[in-house]
Homo-oligomer: A and B are copies of this chain.
Amino acid sequence: MPHTLRQQLADLVLLGELKPGDRLDEHKLAERFGVSRTPIREAIRQLGASGLIEIRPRRSAVVRSFDRTELSEAFEAMGEIEALCAARAAVRFNESERLRLRALIATSEDITARKDRSAALEMDFEFHGLLHDGARNWMLKTVAEETRLKITPYSAALFTMESYDADLGRPHNQHAEIAEAVLVGDGDRAGALMREHIAQALISLQTFFEETAAQPDAPKAKGRT
């Protein structure tokens, strides 16, 4: 099942080939995907409306980048939204979802032990996706995923760093705790734990970006030596 052009383009950003601040050259992208500029432009506009890239009239579109303040606000907002999903999921989960969640945590345990960062990233998406579905609210799910999408270029970068190996256990343990609260039906606790989980993720992100000097908002080296 071939992805849509829009998804293929998004993947360039989501999988890290294009990083925040990078320009999107319509000609080159058209050539790369073997189509004309017209469909490329349409895909770019869509991703622009999704907030994944930034569209500036008469100038190249660029991958959306956040400064420290924006990143912190984004995580604060996401924390609240994910907390909402978790709290509702705790109350509305059905039996098959409970089974799936349990299985997910077990698999995650394994992945964490093997320090497979790539699998851990996928697992992270699945875990949160399961809670988004469990909230049984289409709009809430949409909002959660749109929010998550916008910061993905940053959070995904974390999982690609070798130095993140050491901290891989923390998110897993937090997921396990949240899952427990969800399975017990304790919405308030699940929500609170989720809020904390997202807050921790922000701290990890900030820490690693400070260390590597690849900080958000850092001016891109564009040929200027």
Contact = CB atoms under 8 A, between A and B. Distances in A.
Interface of A: 38, 41-43, 45-51, 70, 73-74, 76-78, 80-81, 84, 137-140, 142-143, 146-147, 150
A73 B139 contact: yes
A194 to B, nearest CB: 14
Contacts of A80: 84, 140
A137 to B, nearest CB: 5
A5 to B, nearest CB: 11
A138 B46 contact: no
Contact of A143 (B42, B46, B49, B81): B81
B45 A76 contact: no
A76 B139 contact: yes
Contact of A42 (B42, B47, B137, B140): B42
A104 B147 CA distance: 31
A42 B78 CA distance: 29
A118 B147 CA distance: 32
A73 B138 contact: yes
